[in-house]
Structure 1
Amino acid sequence: MSELNQIDQIAERVERLLVRYDELTRTNALLYQQIGTLTQERDSLKSRLSAARARVDALLERLPSENSSASIKPAFKTATERDQA
């Protein structure tokens, strides 16, 4: 009788282990899906950042250099310039 009880206990533990294994397998699959999604999102954000950097660089290229900025008159006077006038 004791031997049968031990076998039942072992069988129950094996069943619990199998259930736990199935749960962990499903969790692992979901985590891999999340990794894939986050990797795609990261790549998309890197691409957008690169494009934004390129646009900023293009805008910086269009700005006048320091040497030629003296010849450009500002469209608006500063508060100090207005007070002096």
Structure 2
Amino acid sequence: MAHPDTIDQIAERVDHLLLRHEELQRTQALLSQQVQALTLERDQLKSRLSAARARVDALIERLPQATPAATPEASE
């Protein structure tokens, strides 16, 4: 049979591991929340970028077409 000191050491290590496990679970939950928030922010920024691109494209289409510049040879 194991010595009482050995059993106490094992029990202490198990308690430490359980505390560490709980700490890691809390950390993982916080990181998951951060990932979710950042994913939402990224999706919103992508949507805003898409809308801005559409507005820029619409403005570009409204610009008058460039006419070819008169070359000096053609005016002579």
TM-score (norm 1): 0.76
Q: Which runs of 5+ in 2 are unaligned?
A: 71-76
Partner of 1:54, secondary structure, is helix
C-alpha deviation, 1:67, in angstroms: 1.9
C-alpha deviation, 1:51, in angstroms: 0.2
Partner of 1:47: 47
Aligned residues: 68
Identity %: 66
Give the 4+ runs in structure 1 shifted more than 6 A: none
What is the aligned-residue RMSD (CA, Å)?
Answer: 1.6
Partner of 2:66, secondary structure, is coil
Distance in 2 separating the partners of 1:40 and 1:65: 40
Amino acid of the residue matched to residue 28 of structure 2? N
TM-score (norm 2): 0.85
Partner of 1:16: 16
Amino acid of the residue matched to residue 34 of structure 1? Q
